[in-house]
Structure formats: C-alpha cells, structure tokens
Amino acid sequence: MLPIEVPSHFICEPFYSKEDRVLEVGGKNYFAYDILYDVHKETKTPWRDVQKNIRPFFEKWETQREELYTLFSLRKAKEAAPCMKQAAAMYISLLFWINGQPVRRLNRLQEDIADLTYKPINCAERLMFLLQRVSSYQAYIQLTELFNELRKQYAKMLILHKK
C-alpha cells in the first residue's frame, strides 16, 4: 500500500508536525483507522462494533501501562515519550470510538470532545494537560486515570445500549 498523506486537520503536536506528514501503514503511526477512513472511507471501522473491537485496545493499554511505569520508575522519561504518544493517541481514538464515531480532526479536539456523550469528567482539559507534557510522570498518571474512567464509560455505554 502506498504511503498516505496525513490530512491537514490531523497535523497536531505531539502526533504529527508539518514536516512529518506521511502515515506509514504498518509502521508506528497515530490514528491510522481514523485517517484511513477520512481519506478513503473504505477501511476497518472499529467504532461500528465497539462491543467486539474495543476490548483488545484496553488490553494493549494494560501492557503499555506496565512498560511506562517501569520507564518512569527508572526515571527514563525520554524513553517513555514515544510510548506515551502512542498510548495518548490510542486513548483519543477509543474515546471517540466508544461514542460510535472516528476521530475527525485533531486541530479542534477540545470542541469535538465537548460533543461526546461518553467521556470522563473534564476530559478535554485533562487531555490537553497530558498532551502538553507527554513525557512527564504527571502525564502518565493522568493518562492512567483517564483510561480507568473511560473503561467505566465504556461499561456504561454497553449497559445502556443493551436496554
């Protein structure tokens, strides 16, 4: 598959910069499903069957959380930064997918989060804090708490949709 140019509305630090505009399919990338959907509309869409597709991402987070804990315990914040970016991107995707939609843009993330039904309290503000300090231990703690709260919102959504 050919490299895909990242749409301008996904160019946002710490994920993509103006110099780093190509989504490497199969490589380390952020928001791959969301960007591919935005560009082609023909891709896997995890947000359409959240009951089936979301659990593996929470399991992946548990593995990443342990790796990050080890890195921060050893005071290796620089080494933790790439994993933190990947985990933060996964969190943002899950946040939108649980609400039945892809991430549509990163350049207006706070506005888009405000419109979501299932989200942790003060989610947008906490996420902005985290993204501004992505390699800090405080950001790791915040991300851990956001994932814990998102898991509860996911359970709530499943219960409400079964009724």
- Specify the pLDDT at position 40: 82
pLDDT higher than 70, residue 25:
no
Neighbours of 6 (CB within 10 A): 24
For residues 124-138, average pLDDT: 95
For residues 149-160, average pLDDT: 94
pTM: 0.92
pLDDT higher than 70, residue 163:
no
Phi, psi of 5 (to 5 degrees): -70, 135
What torsion do the CA atoms of 153, 151, 126, 105 make, to the nearest 10 degrees?
-80
pLDDT higher than 70, residue 155:
yes
Kindly report the length of the chain: 163
- Specify the pLDDT at position 5: 83
Strand 4-5 and strand 22-23: the pairing is antiparallel
- Specify the pLDDT at position 97: 96
For residues 81-93, average pLDDT: 95
C-alpha span between 80 and 135 (Å, rounded):
6
pLDDT higher than 80, residue 66:
yes
Neighbours of 30 (CB within 10 A): 22
Q: Which residue has the higher pLDDT, 17 or 67?
A: 67
pLDDT higher than 80, residue 94:
yes
pLDDT higher than 70, residue 2:
no
The domains found in the chain, sorted by start residue, are 45-159 (1.20.120)
Beta bridge partners of 94: none
C-alpha span between 22 and 68 (Å, rounded):
27
> Smallest Cα–Cα separation from 15: which of 35, 37, 41?
35
